[in-house]
Amino acid sequence: MKTCNCDLNLDTLPGISKIVCLDEVVSTQAVARELALEGTAEKTLVLAETQTGGKGRLGREWESAPGGLYMTLLLKPETGVKFLPHLSVLSGEAVAGTITALYGIKTRIKKPNDVYAWYPRRRKWLKISGILTESSSINKDASWLLLGVGVNLNNLPKLDTAVSVKAIKGAAVSREEFLEAFFRNFWLEYSAWEYGSQAKS
């Protein structure tokens, strides 16, 4: 695991308390899990240039070539574990909304945790992002939550069921611009979710 130079800073990423930028890891989820167990502060963001063992839902492999966005956010929501599945959907909605707003790409959610994009060249909906959540709970309350997000930005996926923003737009896009827009969208959704779940507890 090697730290890499990161051109992101906390001033441009709303709501993030700490950024851990890494060159190559097995998975950002594994790194974030270690940090959570060590008691690392909430809203720490783990970013990696590549993953050698990225996973999606049900243990499926997530291709993690350079150019994609691979991150895990450490959260400590004040809510019961029964509400955690909703977080995958709202995170997917935040990703989909960001992709559509920034790049004009049509998106749709495939519940519980995938985002698909319309690829005009092939006239098909193809996977562009996946969400993975993991939590630790005490007495039915979540003590910490890991939100893993993979987005095909500038990588070119080998799977014929996947596509990237670069493939659709025909040009590379800014990871920094995407992250800034995503977190603006995400925190609005997250705050509403956390408040709503507390009211229902």
Judged against a pLDDT cut of 60, whether residue 181 lies above it is answered with yes
Give the pLDDT confidence of 62-104 residue by residue, as tens digits.
Answer: 677 899 999 999 998 877 667 777 888 999 999 999 999 999 9
| 138 CB burial (10 A radius; 0-12, 13-18, 19+) | exposed
Q: What are phi and psi of 40, to 5 degrees?
A: -60, 150
Q: What is the pLDDT of residues 113-160, one digit of tens each?
A: 899 999 999 999 999 999 998 887 655 556 788 999 999 999 999 889
- Average pLDDT of the chain is 86
Q: Which fold has domain 18-200?
A: BirA Bifunctional Protein; domain 2 (3.30.930)
Cα–Cα dist 97/34, whole Å: 31
CA atoms within 13 A on the CB side of 48: 26
Six token digits for residue 12: 């441009």
- pLDDT score recorded for residue 129: 96
Q: Which range has the top average pLDDT, 48-52, 135-139, 180-184, 193-197?
A: 180-184
The phi, psi pair for 118, rounded to 5°, reads: -85, 125
Domain parsing of the chain, residue ranges: 18-200
Q: Report d(CA 21, CA 5) in Å as an integer.
A: 7
